[in-house]
Amino acid sequence: MSDNTAAPIEAPKPFTVTLNIRRYNPEFDAEPYWQSFDVEMYSTDRVLDALHRIKWDQDGSLAFRRSCAHGICGSDAMRINGRNRLACKTLVKDLDVTKPIYVEAIKGLPLEKDLIVDMEPFFNAYREVQPFLQASSKPEKERLQSVKDRERFDDTTKCILCAACTTSCPVFWTDGQYFGPAAIVNAHRFIFDSRDEASQVRLDILNDKEGVWRCRTTFNCTEACPRGIEVTKAIAEVKQAMIRGRR
Ligand code: SF4
Ligand code: FES
């Protein structure tokens, strides 16, 4: 007779992680400072779960943005151990938990409180590239497009406007005037859309001194993108379209 006794399932074991968080409250602090928190975590927890635990159990004044908690809304980009990532897509166990985990706001945008920055300059640059379809024709049904033409801009449709790319770019850090990778990615999405008639307008906008020519091809943006978009390649394609004089 076979032994049907199943081995007991071991309950997952928690472990303690130290998070060093860059705090700043403009009402009280002259400068940002680091504050340390110890949190009990499980191997399935993400950095966002750690922030929730701190906010709910230890310090309700901790400020950060998040909405979907599943890598879709793009609201929780932050610097985790010096790299731009989404807190909701970063498993704590994938970091070195023998050392403190450093969490701070993304760089290059005005700091508002703790991990929250003012996103308005980022969205201003996005709006400036006219990220919407412009077509004069009025078809009775949908605007048809071949599979090949759709593939041309497939990669850049994946952007969730998290700003991880733009705020990892050293050119953007220097003066904040550069349009930045995310705006160029979203311009690319329409410049190479065969149904759109305003690609030349966007190419002219990005031919500006604060446009694509500021890119120094450091690839920080591509490494930072949580959606795996080939950001530097998209910027290079926009540059090539400018040199050709057409998309
Ligand atoms: S290109 Fe990637 S990193 Fe940049 S805003 Fe879009 S999703 Fe975020
Ligand atoms: S909370 Fe929406 S992407 Fe992380």
For the chain, domain boundaries? 15-117, 120-135+146-244
Q: pTM of the predicted model, to two decimals?
A: 0.94
Residue 242 CB less than 6 A away from ligand 1: no
CA 86 to ligand 2 centroid distance, Å: 7
DSSP labels, the chain: -----PPPPPPPPPEEEEEEEEE--TTT-SS-EEEEEEEEE-TT-BHHHHHHHIIIII-TT-----SSSSSSS---EEEETTEEEEGGG-BGGGS-TTSPEEEEPPSSS-EEETTEE--HHHHHHHHHT--S-------SSPPP--HHHHHTTTGGGG-----TTGGG-HHHHHHS-S--HHHHHHHHHHHT-TT-S-HHHHHHHHTSTTSGGG-----HHHHH-TT---HHHHHHHHHHHHHHT--
Which is more confident, 7 or 41? 41
Atom 3, ligand 2: residue with shortest CA distance: 71
Topology given in CATH for the domain delimited by 120-135+146-244: Fumarate Reductase Iron-sulfur Protein; Chain B, domain 2 (1.10.1060)
Confidence of residue 3 (pLDDT cuts 50, 70, 90): low
CA 191 to ligand 1 centroid distance, Å: 17
Confidence of residue 5 (pLDDT cuts 50, 70, 90): confident
pLDDT of residue 2: 55
Residue 229 CB less than 6 A away from ligand 1: yes
CA 77 to ligand 2 centroid distance, Å: 8
Strand order in the sheet with 77-80: 33-41, 15-23, 101-104, 77-80, 83-86
Confidence of residue 228 (pLDDT cuts 50, 70, 90): very high
pLDDT of residue 8: 84
Residue 65 CB less than 6 A away from ligand 2: no
Confidence of residue 181 (pLDDT cuts 50, 70, 90): very high
CA 134 to ligand 1 centroid distance, Å: 23
Atom 7, ligand 1: residue with shortest CA distance: 159
The residue among 125, 129, 108 whose CA lies nearest residue 117 is: 108
Is-same-fold flag (15-117; 120-135+146-244)?
no
220 vs 166: CA distance, rounded Å: 9
Confidence of residue 240 (pLDDT cuts 50, 70, 90): very high
Residue 159 CB less than 6 A away from ligand 1: yes
CATH number of the structural domain 15-117 = 3.10.20.30
Residue 71 CB less than 6 A away from ligand 2: yes
Bridge partner residues of 104 (DSSP): 79
pLDDT of residue 18: 98
pLDDT of residue 48: 98
Q: For residue range 36-76, what is the model confidence (pLDDT) as tens digits?
A: 999 999 999 999 999 999 999 999 999 999 999 999 999 99
CA 68 to ligand 2 centroid distance, Å: 5
Contacts with 235 (C-beta within 8 Å, 6 or more apart), sequence order: 181, 184, 185, 188, 212, 215, 217, 221
